[in-house]
Amino acid sequence: DTGVSQNPRHKITKRGQNVTFRCDPISEHNRLYWYRQTLGQGPEFLTYFQNEAQLEKSRLLSDRFSAERPKGSFSTLEIQRTEQGDSAMYLCASSLELGTSGGAHNEQFFGPGTRLTVL
């Protein structure tokens, strides 16, 4: 399967613990995105990378959240000191952007998501 993969698929943790999620994009894709989706809502943009550079972060991404893409391939999203309000589905997507304008030109392919439950 050459699609976007995310691990783990499910994570249950206690409040105050740290969690880390991993996303493996489609191999030739240079852009990688993180979104958060809560029940009954559409995905909300968190951040995105062009290769290893993090180019934009949403105000939703508090200082407890950090994302990395160290070699421009896979990415990790870490949440420190988790809170119950962090419970959500965390989605990763990737795309291949050939232009330089930075617009949402090309299709973002989404992974299946990691469902986080904070007790």
Comparing CB distances to another protein, the nearer of 93 and 118 is 93
Per-residue b or e along 73-96, where b marks 16 or more CB atoms closer than 10 Å to that residue's CB: ebbebebeebeeebbbbbbbbbbe
State the minimum distance, in angstroms, from the CB of residue 19 to another protein: 20
Cβ closest to another protein, residue 1 vs residue 63: 1
The Cβ-side half-sphere exposure at 3, using a 13 Å CA radius, reads: 12
Q: How far apart are CA 57 and CA 116, in angstroms?
A: 20
* Residues found near another protein in the complex (CB under 8 A): 3-4, 31, 33, 40-45, 48, 55-56, 58, 91, 93, 95, 97, 101-105, 107-113
Quote the tokens at residue 14.
């206690």
Q: Measured from the CB of residue 54, what is the shortest distance to another protein in angstroms?
A: 12
CB nearer to another protein: pick between 21 and 33: 33
